[in-house]
Chain A
Amino acid sequence: MSEPSKVVFQVMWNRLISIVEEQAQALVRTAFSTSVREAGDLSAGVYNDAGEMLAQAVTGTPGHVNAMADAVGHFIRRIGRDTMAEGDVYITNDPWEGTGHKHDITVVTPSFHRGQLIGFFACTAHITDIGGRGFGADANDVHEEGLYIPIMRFADKGAVDQTLLAIIRGNVREPDQLVGDIHALATCNEIGHRRLIEMITEFDLGDLTGISDFILTHSRQATLDAINALTPGVAEGQMRIDGYDRPIDLCVKVSIEKDRIVTDWEGTSGLDKKGINVPLVYTKAYACYALKCAIAPEIPNNAASLAPFEITAPVNSIVNAVHPAPVALRHVIGHMVPDTVYDALDKLLPGLAPAQGAGCLCNFQVSLRPRMDAPAPEDAVRAEVLTFNSGGSGARATLDGMSATAFPSGVMTMPVEATEQVGPVVIWRKELRPDSGGAGQYRGGLGQYMSVGAREGHEFDIQAMFDRVDHPALGCRGGGNGAPTTIARGDGTAMKGKGKQFVPHGGRVDMAFPGGAGYGEPQERAREAVRRDLALGYITPGFATEQYGMTQEDIDAVLAQAKRGEEF
């Protein structure tokens, strides 16, 4: 029999993954912002003493994947390994050394065992407000986007920095939420640390060296095997999207080589004046995520499994923005990265990648306040309410797209009932949007309608963060395009897809979020599937006639059956 330690290492690797899942769960349970506790916009991971990531919780945010993997190295460099002590907790919201914008707070905690530094825990969460102009696209540089917290100590040997807390409290709109969230981040690292020490004690280890080597060696090899099983080749992909007030071209070249896949963004548009620029860490995260989904979905994320995916982009292209570019809404373009990569990958590995989808999340934030045009009622309040919503995903080579489902992001929406508990906001409508999924042999996922207003006595600003107003998701292999985004006031006047816009007392904003694109020629779609789409109201009679050539007689028959509540 060979060494039983092989089995023990397997057990410990499983344990580390379980520890980071537990760490993430603790964050959800203790966080204050709905973005964290309801939507799961967070991540958590464990690192060896060199700052290499060993395991990461599978949470809602591929965007944090690579960024978090790199972050701990920055912390070690800035804080200084020699000055680290038990009870320390470090913090930052640096877009370039954290996860891409100031609204993500990253907290890192060193793990000590018998007085020796053996590793780190890190976690990141998207918080509701960090001051400045608020969460939106309007800033002209990063300084307008809110309070900057450089990499620094949040707690020094257990003592929380009260000066820092006072500065934070004085600079943000929801100080209780933010301070509560920072405590939650520190708590979740602490819980991870406790479990790690239990594991080390149980297996009688001095440090993480052995298990770290085991994880990284196996992951590297598995990733290389997956890459080397592909036929080498080079292909280019493009996507044009709205941008802030001029269109943005995303251009990528994907090269499958021995032992690596290189993704180069040469040719992509330059920086934008407004806050939709993307730090490279975030571009890397989503490019890498897209490739991992397609090529190596089962290999857990860690330093070694991510390393063979190399991502480069020209400095100050919009996907490699450097300080002081405004970056608050880096997710809008970041979320378009996977479909751009897939445009190239589809030429190398046909049939693997989906058609284009809605791409970026359809988020908006409302800042409510007592009406100012007339006396407001006594109980009127100020509140910041952030919502995450999704359009449709693109159809796959053998499957319809998913309706109102996030891709590539994995965050959840907030329940409307929970959102309306946060502030005096009213969501009047949140439901699927018929005809928005591109026609095809496989249909794109549907987008959704939403309408938002305020309770009596309030007015508000809405921060729109939408794309695909002018550039819908494009169909694949003959499939139709997804429907574009629309946004308008209650009276039908169009509004802008991005930026802060005022809505007076009694006003309402009606939004329609984009659908995913179709895959394959519509006439190839199974007739039963078309009938079902019509019966369930995923498409209207007009769409059924135009796209699928359904006869009026057929349509009437299906609708009559649907009205009787029959199954399809």
Chain B
Amino acid sequence: MGQAGTRLGVDIGGTFTDVVLERGGAWFSTKVLTTYGAPEDAIIDGMHQVCAKAGISPEEIGQIIHGTTLATNALIERRGAKTALITTEGFRDVIEMRTESRFEQYDLNLTLPAPLLPRNRRYVVRERLDARGDVLMPLVRADVEALVDEIGAAGYESVAVGLLHSYVNDAHERLIAEVLAERLPDILVSLSSEVSPQMREYERFNTTIANAYIKPLMASYLGRLRARLADEGAECPVFLMHSGGGIMSLESAAEFPVRLVESGPAGGAIFAADIAARHGVEKALSFDMGGTTAKICLIKSQTPKTARVFEVARTYRFKKGSGMPISIPVIDMVEIGAGGGSLAHVDGMNQIRVGPESAGSEPGPACYGRGGDKPAVTDADLVLGKLDPDNFAGGSIQLHAAQSAQALEAVIGTKLDMDATEAAFGLAEVVDENMANAARVHAVENGEDLADYTMIAFGGAAPLHAARLCEKLGVGRLLVPEGAGVGSAIGFLKAPFSFEANRSVFMRLAAFDGSAVTALFAEMEAEATAFVRSCDAQAAISAEHRVYMRYAGQGWEIPVSLTAEQAAKPDAATYQALFEAEYKALFGRVVDGMGIEITVWSVNAFTAQERADRVTESAPAAPPQASGTRALFDPAKGAVLQADVVERGAFAAGAVKAGPMVITEAETTIVVPQSRSATAHADGTLDVFVQEKTDV
């Protein structure tokens, strides 16, 4: 029988499957190679490894929380099921016509990404609702029956239904679902009014199609996984991490698999939120940098920021608009093509450009000595003294500084008249500036000033760049937690059960209907709570209420959070005051005399998580002994300095040591520039903070 205190977190990533076991406050983790053919194999393998480390049998696991890139990868690699779309007559090509624009203005040979479903898999029915949900043209049941028979004959596995204005009135979509259930009971159905009931047909249809497209694959995988786990003795409940940063049941995941997209990075954000809670940080910037991309997320009051739409499968240099929009509740992150493997070149204007092309693991950066001749970020890091060539990735890969220098000189140095060090400096500065710009823009879009934020860095490459990013962003404090290598899987175990219900219902504050609002919130809360209740029969469930507001006539709303009181006893004046305060924070000024409206209503139901215990202050301890020194380039100084090398294990809690210094550990290296000092906390987290200015 499983034990409540024994939980397993599993994150399937592109290269590795991370498995973490938590038992009575102790943590056991492993990384195994992802097994693409049958992803459950890696999970079983990893589970046995961590069970062995903990000295328990799989029967003792009480709960498994799982996140995966499988859904994302199926969309990127187009490995979904044979899927049909049923849509309103006259709108067959919505997902193919996209926004009718080019995401890259100056490329005459641009290729647009192919729609998820080709045109011959998109079917239409005669019917039409208007923007208020009134019927302009009724849907005739016999028409649907004829169409469903045609779809049945073509042998589809899955059907998406997306009709115009169904976010206001779902009656026609329901009728189609009813006929499908009657005549094709085995086919899987996804309705746009359920998957993503939001205005803007391209986003809604695409999201619904994405859901339908991966549904057979994910339903089958999740079924197999549960069976395999049971065979191996782990008969405990299995839950899934969703893109919004919460956990949902395996059944919900099979029904709405599109909500699994980006669940791994969401786990990373939850991990960072937990670190923030442990250290009492109210405003945190999570910075996750791996081999190919960096992800940045804002975390306020230990809660990651969420959004309602994002883009997956970008086909053109991570360029906005080159992928496909998915409108579901999601942790709001910016992802840019900047990782350890990102390659640099010099463009026509003699500017250094970095990424998004990546060296991958083969041939890898030049310093791997596997034939790579283009300089990658890791090459620059090595030349600048941030990495120890003999101790990279726990010593598993020997690095060759001479080859880095050669690649840097060949590709950058000769063109710009720079030596290897300056070329490396330029490369590192450009990639750091790219990441800093992404963070800055993200902060501004959310009306935030990063100056009072604390950065939390994890992922293999992040601690090498985090302190420089802090310098650029004016961020005073940086935390580098332990276990950063399997952060997402740890994050899964910290996440609440949650479900967010959304409705598009337009309401002007001038025509505010308090009783309608109360009823709407009650209905949504019941829906969201029911989902959460299906995961956990006992836990107390809380709800957060939010409205998305704008001046009437604007197209983009801003989220306004409500207290339970404000949701239960709604009044227009309070909502207006809340909106104006948010608007002013974002854009600096309110627009007088303009009507205000609410467009989207949202209720997020979740189980209360135990707040992580605050880490207690450690008594001062003696500074750690340096194990040696190393020449380290300090970009803020623009010069090479002698830096102490300290092993992370040698850093006792409470010890303080000033930079410049590099702190080494098996998985990564933490660079502390001259402008910063570092101390260690009782939980092993390193705290890198601005040094009192003594001399400059």
Tell me the A residues contacting B by CB distance below 8 Å.
Answer: 1-2, 4, 6-7, 10-11, 13-15, 18, 21-22, 25-26, 28-34, 37-38, 40, 58, 60, 62, 176-177, 179-180, 183, 187, 190-191, 195, 202, 218-219, 221-222, 225-226, 292-294, 296-299, 352-354, 388-390, 396, 398-399, 402-407, 410-413, 415-418, 420-421, 426, 428-432, 448-449, 451, 455, 535-538, 562-568
Contact = CB atoms under 8 A, between A and B. Distances in A.
Of the listed residues A7, A187, A406, A538, the one surrounded by the most CB atoms of chain B closer than 10 A to its CB is: A7
B555 A34 contact: yes
11 contacts: A6-B416, A37-B554, A195-B440, A218-B351, A293-B107, A299-B348, A396-B109, A402-B110, A415-B199, A537-B119, A562-B120
Given A1-B422, A28-B556, A407-B102, A399 B109 contact: yes
B37 to A, nearest CB: 22
Given A299-B348, A421-B199, A537-B119, A32 B553 contact: yes
Given A399-B109, A568-B118, A21 B441 contact: yes
Contacts of A293: 105-108
Contact of A390 (B90, B100, B111, B349): B100
B351 A10 contact: yes
B106 A4 contact: no
A4 B638 CA distance: 7
Given A28-B556, A431-B90, 15 more contacts: A7-B422, A22-B440, A26-B444, A31-B555, A40-B101, A226-B348, A293-B105, A294-B108, A402-B110, A406-B100, A431-B91, A431-B92, A451-B90, A565-B120, A565-B154
Contacts of B441: 18, 21-22, 25
Contacts of A429: 89-91
Interface string B143-166: 000000010011110000000110
Interface residues of B, number: 82
Interface stretch (B219-227, B423-431, B527-535, B539-547): B423-431
B425 A7 contact: yes
B474 interface: yes
B671 interface: no
Interface in B50-75: none
B587 interface: yes
A432 B118 CA distance: 13
A4 B433 contact: no
A403 B551 contact: no
B390 interface: no
B182 interface: no
B536 interface: no
Contact of B426 (A7, A292, A535): A7
Nearest to B168: A417
Nearest to A390: B100
A7 B429 contact: yes
Contacts of A190: 588-589
B129 to A, nearest CB: 10
Contacts of B421: 1
Contacts of B100: 388-390, 404-406, 412-413
Contacts of B551: 32, 180
B617 interface: no
A60 B591 contact: no
Nearest to A456: B136
Contacts of A7: 422, 425-426, 429-430
5 tightest CB-CB pairs across the interface, nearest first?
A37-B555, A429-B90, A297-B106, A412-B99, A420-B131
Contacts of A294: 108
Given A390-B100, A402-B112, A418-B200, A2 B347 contact: no
Contacts of A226: 348
A218 B101 contact: no
Contact of A421 (B89, B108, B506, B591): B506
A180 B554 contact: yes
A298 B107 CA distance: 9
Among B150, B347, B437, max chain A CB count under 10 A is at B437
B350 A218 contact: yes
A218 B433 contact: no
B257 to A, nearest CB: 21
A416 B91 contact: yes
A448 B97 contact: yes
Contacts of A410: 101-102, 105
A415 B165 CA distance: 11
Given A187-B588, A411-B101, A413-B100, A218 B120 contact: no
Contact of A418 (B97, B199, B588): B199
A134 to B, nearest CB: 18
A296 B348 contact: yes
Contact of A299 (B349, B418, B437, B555): B349
B128 interface: yes
A180 B553 contact: yes
Given A299-B349, A421-B131, A15 B587 contact: no
Given A1-B421, A413-B97, A431-B90, A10 B352 contact: yes
Contacts of A407: 102
A465 to B, nearest CB: 16
B231 interface: no
Contacts of B96: 403-404, 432
B553 A29 contact: no
Contacts of B201: 415-417
Interface string B113-148: 000001111000000101100001000000000000
Contacts of B109: 396, 398-399
Nearest to B351: A10
B256 interface: no
Contacts of B6: none
Contacts of A33: 553
Nearest to B434: A14
A346 to B, nearest CB: 12
Interface in B397-447: 416-419, 421-422, 425-426, 429-430, 433-434, 437, 440-441, 444-445
Nearest to B120: A562
A543 to B, nearest CB: 15
A15 B350 CA distance: 17
A176 to B, nearest CB: 6
B429 A225 contact: no
B556 A219 contact: no
A353 B553 contact: no
A222 B415 CA distance: 14
